[in-house]
Chains A and B, each alone.
Chain A
Amino acid sequence: MSAVLPRTAALPGPHWWLSAPALVLFGCLLLVPLALTAVLSFNAFDAATGVKAGEFTLAHYAKVIGDEYYLGIFWRTFWISALTTLICIAIGAPEAYVLSRMGSPWRAIFLLVVLAPLLVSVVVRAFGWSMLLGREGLVNQALRLLGVAPMKLLYTEAAVVIALVHVMLPFMVIPVWTSLQKLDPAVEHAALSLRASHFTTLRRIVLPQVLPGILSGSLIVFGLSASAFAIPGLLGGRRLKMVSTVVYDEYLHELNWPLGAAIALTLLLANLVVMLTYNRVVEGAYRKSLG
């Protein structure tokens, strides 16, 4: 027995050769490139000669944290993502509730109508919004009919937030909808029959039940908004930069790859920190609601 054991231990089990192709691919095209980029972000850079492979510096990270231009862009990315998240909560949570109270077949149909744009390319949706929000777009024409002077919407923060809300809303509706499915309608009926007002029922019965859904939806929406690229690229114009569009500039226009890598990795790190702390909060909320 003891003579057989080392031999079987040395032979990889079927789970290893079954997952080997995926593991090799993810190692070569995910882990190695991320490690290379981490190294690159510490490499010294010279505008005339390019990346200096052997020299290491913290200058790029110092620039990201210390330079007002980059700080401003991180701050803008943060507040645009936070605002998008808040609006998604304000629209997505009630919409999921309204959907869950519909009868069939409307419930299934409208759920698809709200969620299906998720599968349409984000470039198409950004282009659609640029047509709606342009100087002569439908929104300004409608405003003119109402007697309001046309506004500059395209290439402003407002346009970016509107389009981001459109892209992110399904990510809020899905978790709220899922948690509403677990809500027993009898509890709601009981509250109403005990003379609780509709508002009280919503606040005391429905809201605590969907809170975990809202929290996990917020997490996804915030994370995806903070790293969104095509929306700020097409609706923010040349001047209104967000983190991802700046990374694009550093890589493809300034050709300062190390600085671009430092910004991208800072974004990744910030995203992971937000997600992990938020996860703690969500878990805490779950534990509290379960007693």
Chain B
Amino acid sequence: MSIPGSNLSARGAVLLAALAAALLAAPLLANDYLLTVLILILYFAYVGQAWNVMMGFAGQLSLGHALYVGLGGYVAAVLFVRFGIGPWLGMLAAIPVAVLVGAIMGFLAFRFRVGGVYFAILTIAFAEFTRVGFDHFSYVGGSGGLFLPVSQYSRNDLVNLRGNPTMFYYVMLAFTVAALLLCRTLLRSRVGYFWQAIREDEDAARALGIDTFRYKMIAVMISSGLTAPAGVFVAFYYNNLFPEQVFNIARSIEIILAPIIGGIGTLFGPILGAFLLTGLSEAMHEVLSAFGLDVPGAKQVFYGICVLFVVVMLPDGVWPWLARRLGVTERRS
């Protein structure tokens, strides 16, 4: 038995509803620490979903998605700090900037047939020279960083994204759900099929009349544009931006871990991966702390073990396996 118009089984729909209820009720039950962990999980679920459009759907590996997070953050933060323009309008400016930069990179790569590993290196290069550029961009604070004004807020100001973690949690939850729905629509549309054709075999895709240049460009532009709001969120949540941190390649790698663990190219993979990875690594941190241990780099080692485990045991990711076990059939597409 399945739900019409979806590939969720009835049991899958019940589980999904339970998950949605749990996520909606979480701030009522969770303490501040748990809430910040949940915010982090949703953040990684969101950016993982955005990255997945490029790699999971269209097969174009980006190892530089921190670029679009950083650009989104800087554009909105500068507009807020220098011109008093709020984050939502700032987001409307941040998205086109990220799309434009993604389009320039995509054009160079696809026009000159830079593919595979070389494409991935190009994405790193773009993130890296942007990082170096922002280090010397004094208008936005250079390497000294850009800071948003911080004060105690008596009430949540959603218009200016100033408030307590509960507000940020719901904002991030809304974004994650919206990204999931958008990606679901994309994957089942004509463009989604064409992306998958390109991912599976580009020569065959071209032989079927698909303008692969055009559809790869669309993938990069949607993925980069979708990533930018996460940067706006980072800027207003942490209230500071340093090029050295926000454009760091380590951030780019963190972004791709959740979809890899959860299942590249699946819709729930990035979400599940974010819960597993961030949830377990925070839990491990807590356990270590409880024993009075503070091991630097433990998180990175843990990430490494997780990736190793998934690559060896479940190369398609955890979600396709879990979906089969739970009887919630999502086709791996």
Please say whether chains A and B are actual partners in one complex: no
Question: Residues on B close to A: CB < 8 A?
Answer: none
